Amino acid sequence: QVQLVESGGGLVQSGGSLRLSCAASGRTFSTLVMAWFRQAPGKEREFVAATSKTGSITVYADSVKGRFTISRDNAKNTVYLQMNSLKPEDTAVYYCAADLQTISQLFRNYDYWGQGTQVTVSS
């Protein structure tokens, strides 16, 4: 079983930055594909970014491309999401997800989820 714990959310003004972290345990971190999803009130959970097991491949949603960066440190069992130039529409609960298979943008393909961390961007 894989446990994921997110941190780093908070309140930030439009144009500001935040860095989210997700610490994983329970399995060798380098065997996990890692991703970030988000869910705003009344909306479906949507893909944000994902990284392959080695970090050599990254994928982003069009809405965050050029503003967000996903990275991982396999020595620290942690994946990060650096969020720059934040907009009010980025406001959501951000979830870390993990899977043993291949990188994917579909939330149903991920078996393990964190509890989420709130990000609020004020205008």
The per-residue pLDDT for range 72-82, each reduced to its tens digit, is 999 999 999 99
pLDDT for position 106: 94
* 42-70-90 Cα angle (round to 5): 30
Give pLDDT tens digits for 24-41.
999 999 999 999 999 999
Place of tokens 């078996």: 111
The CA dihedral of 65, 12, 87, 49, to the nearest 10 degrees, is 30
Q: Which of 65, 46, 54 is nearest to 110 (CA)?
A: 46
pLDDT for position 79: 98
Which pLDDT band holds residue 20 (cuts at 50, 70, 90)?
very high
